[in-house]
Amino acid sequence: KNEVEQSPQNLTAQEGEFITINCSYSVGISALHWLQQHPGGGIVSLFMLSSGKKKHGRLIATINIQEKHSSLHITASHPRDSAVYICAVNSNSNTGNQFYFGTGTSLTVIP
């Protein structure tokens, strides 16, 4: 059973396109994180959110706590956005405080 599900698994877009990556989760959470992993492997934190919407440059993250769903949007996509995007949740369940990770969405933006 996967506590965090992402879709799509793979995504190819033309430069300039609007991109949406979806994340659904099944556990109670204290926060949801979006991470970016570039070829070469380093992981950086893009957003952390527990409600509403956050924006950073061309990236927008939203969360609907009632529906247990989050989306990551990229406006005016660029080849440098090519990376794996990972959704992670911090669960506040009875088993304690733990992070669960999705398997990632591999994004390729073609010039």
Q: What are the backbone dihedrals phi and psi of residue 80, each rounded to the nearest 5 degrees, phi first?
A: -70, -10
Per the CB < 8 A criterion, the answer to whether 85 and 21 are in contact is yes
User: Phi/psi zone of residue 96: left (φ > 0), alpha (ψ -120 to 50 degrees), beta?
Assistant: left
Q: Minimal distance in Å, beta carbon 44 to other proteins?
A: 7
The span of 19-27, 66-74, 75-83, 88-96 binding other proteins (CB under 8 A) equals 88-96
Binding of other proteins at residue 10 (CB under 8 A)? no
The span of 11-19, 29-37, 55-63, 68-76 binding other proteins (CB under 8 A) equals 29-37
The DSSP-derived string for 61-100 is: EEEETTTTEEEEEESS--GGG-EEEEEEEEEEETTEEEEE
| Binding-site member from 22, 24, 62, 92 for other proteins (CB under 8 A) | 92
Q: Minimal distance in Å, beta carbon 62 to other proteins?
A: 18
Instruction: Give the residue with the Cβ less far from other proteins, 23 or 77.
Output: 23
List C-alpha distances in Å: 69 to 84, 87, 107. Answer: 19, 11, 20
Contacts with other proteins by CB under 8 A lie at 2, 4, 29-31, 33, 35, 41-45, 48, 50, 86, 88-92, 96-104
